[in-house]
Amino acid sequence: METLLIVDDDVSLLETLTMHFEDIEQDGQPRYQVVTATNASAGLTAAQECLPSVVILDMMLPDRTGLEIIEEMKGLCGDARIILVTAYHDMETTIRAMKAGAFDYIHKPFPDPAALDLVVERALEYRQLSRRADEVNRENAAVRLGDIVGTSGSMQQLVKQIGKVTSSAATVLITGESGTGKELIARVIHNYSYDEARPFIGINCSAIVDTLLESELFGHEKGAFTGATTGKPGKFEVAEEGTVFLDEIGDMSLMLQSKLLRVLQEREFERVGGVKRIKLRARVIAATHRTLAEEVEQNRFREDLYQRLKVITLQIPPLRERREDIPLLVKHLLERINEKVHKRVTRVPTEVMERLTLLPWRGNVRELENVLTRAVVLAPGDVLRGDDLPALEPTTPPEPGRLAAPMFAAPAVDDVSLIPTLEEAERQLIARAMAVTKGHKGRTCQILGISRPTLERKLQKYGLAQSQGPQVPPSP
């Protein structure tokens, strides 16, 4: 239901227009809620309270002219479209009205109410298009499928699932560790689900306290709480027929979970402090880094909401489980970073790329992007240097037999004879590292954190230089 504010000092005209617009229906429901005022002061107050979608504003009012209050009216009701009406055919005033931001300027008496209907409907249509365009620009929603980078089996399977999801409007739950790109996946689903631009409205449920989060999601009416001096539409309302992305939904309180469940079930909601039912027309995509099944077992997440959300579940693999995608990601991210910081760092030496593939990446793709951004900013030329990478300890190499377990186990009994000497421990460590890297000295140096000359001396010292395919010595 759209709110229509009519400001005119002709009481009989107000009554006629109110009955006319209140009789219009859409899908069996009233199309308009009509609010009226007979002077400029009352009109401004009504605009602040009801947040109209369209304002029909008379040019000549008892206290001020419509032209005088149009700027103030626009400031109070945001993106509402204002239609100025007058009984005088004055070309200069028409020009001034359009310059001041009026959507249209029409004359009365209206020869046919249907003509006014067309102007109002056109105003609503332009408001909706403008709102969509603003959201698209603000949220930078120009995300393509090509922004999902990776040729690993897990990523290929994910892309196939996304293709199936875009053909329906079902609720989607995206799971994955922090930094894996859950919002990127949500945007791709959104963009490939519709042929025309629609709003994508994202909100981080863990970044806002409960009282504010409820207002952000559902909106609020004037006076609903301290500080609510005006009404405000919520994310569900602003999204219209687009997408609402609820990031980190696993951190939402049980109280809000209950309200969200009702919205998903009934596809309707009310603003905080309001009574008017508003239809939910947007698709809901939720994301979390938590395992919601475990949260349900711990009574931290409602099972009925979990069942409602996981109609379709997409699991994004962590970066450490698809290391073969890292070179492609590095290339893709460097292009974006170079454009952002206005540099041309395009060359990545083999040893630097190998080091990047060996790092643990606990922060996943987000951490990789941050590391690359720092390295690009510090690079003096067009080469990404290893010296510009942070001193992160490489762990869990991708090859079988990686050094994932402790090198030396503690003795089962208090027997000092089982503890190796420092030299023996060093020899075993170097031999094991060489075995893991299959004799690759450059990567062995990276793992051990030593220089190439130092490694050569140690290999000579422990008689490992002539070994072909060194075997891992048994732990004592």
Domain boundaries, the chain: 2-137, 145-317, 320-388, 406-476
3-state secondary structure of 476: coil
User: CA quadruple 323, 324, 326, 332: dihedral positive or negative?
Assistant: negative
Strand pairing category for 104-107 and 232-233? unpaired
3-state secondary structure of 379: coil
User: What are 397's two structure tokens?
Assistant: 């190499």
What's residue 111's pLDDT? 64
CB-CB contact of 180 with 361 (8 Å): no
- Residue 411: CB atoms within 10 A of its CB come to 12
Residue 443 and residue 448: Cα distance in Å, rounded?
9
Chain-centroid distance, C-alpha 69: 38
What's residue 108's pLDDT? 79
Residue 301 and residue 258: Cα distance in Å, rounded?
10
What's residue 128's pLDDT? 75
Chain-centroid distance, C-alpha 197: 16
Residue 191: partners with Cβ closer than 8 Å, 6 or more residues away: 141, 142, 143, 144, 200
Chain-centroid distance, C-alpha 285: 10
CATH superfamily of 2-137: Response regulator (3.40.50.2300)
Residue 100 and residue 67: Cα distance in Å, rounded?
8
Closest alpha carbon to 221 in 212, 230, 213: 230
Per-residue pLDDT of the chain (476 residues; tens, 9 = 90+): 788 999 998 898 888 888 888 888 887 788 888 999 999 999 998 888 888 889 998 888 999 888 888 888 887 877 788 888 887 777 777 777 777 778 888 887 776 777 788 888 888 888 777 765 555 444 444 556 667 888 888 898 998 898 889 888 899 999 999 999 999 999 999 988 888 888 999 999 988 888 789 999 999 988 888 877 778 899 999 999 999 999 999 999 999 999 999 999 999 999 999 888 999 999 999 999 999 999 999 999 999 999 999 989 999 999 999 999 999 999 999 998 998 888 889 999 988 998 898 888 999 999 999 999 999 988 888 899 888 776 545 444 444 434 444 444 444 444 445 566 777 778 888 888 887 777 888 788 777 778 787 888 888 888 886 544 444 444 44
Closest alpha carbon to 243 in 125, 103, 136, 156: 136
What confidence tens digit (pLDDT) does each residue in 205-238 have? 988 888 789 999 999 988 888 877 778 899 999 9
Residue 154 and residue 195: Cα distance in Å, rounded?
28
What's residue 347's pLDDT? 92
User: What are 177's two structure tokens?
Assistant: 């560790």
* CA distance to 129, 160, 232, 270, 385, per residue, from 217 (Å): 21, 31, 10, 10, 46
What confidence tens digit (pLDDT) does each residue in 419-440 have? 667 777 788 888 888 877 778 8
User: What are 147's two structure tokens?
Assistant: 């922004």
Residue 184 and residue 286: Cα distance in Å, rounded?
12
Closest alpha carbon to 189 in 239, 250, 153, 148: 148
Residue 132 and residue 238: Cα distance in Å, rounded?
9
Q: Do domains 2-137 and 145-317 have the same CATH topology?
A: yes
Residue 126: exposure state from Cβ atoms within 10 A (0-12, 13-18, ≥19)? middle
What's residue 131's pLDDT? 64
b vs e for 280-302, b when ≥16 Cβ sit within 10 Å of the residue's Cβ? bebbbbbbbbeebeebbeeebbb
User: What are 263's two structure tokens?
Assistant: 């919205």
In 239-363, where does DSSP find H-type helix?
254-266, 292-297, 303-309, 326-341, 350-358
Percent of the chain predicted with pLDDT > 90: 36
What's residue 431's pLDDT? 84
Strand pairing category for 29-30 and 25-26? antiparallel
What's residue 378's pLDDT? 87
Instruction: Tell me the CATH number for domain 406-476.
Output: 1.10.10.60
b vs e for 356-394, b when ≥16 Cβ sit within 10 Å of the residue's Cβ? bbbbebebbbebbbebbbebbeebeeeebbbebbeeeeb
Question: Topology of domain 145-317, per CATH?
Answer: Rossmann fold (3.40.50)
What's residue 36's pLDDT? 92
Return the CATH number of 320-388, one of 3.40.228.10, 3.40.1190.10, 1.10.8.60, 2.120.10.30.
1.10.8.60
What confidence tens digit (pLDDT) does each residue in 373-425 have? 999 988 888 899 888 776 545 444 444 434 444 444 444 444 445 566 777 77
Residue 120 and residue 6: Cα distance in Å, rounded?
11
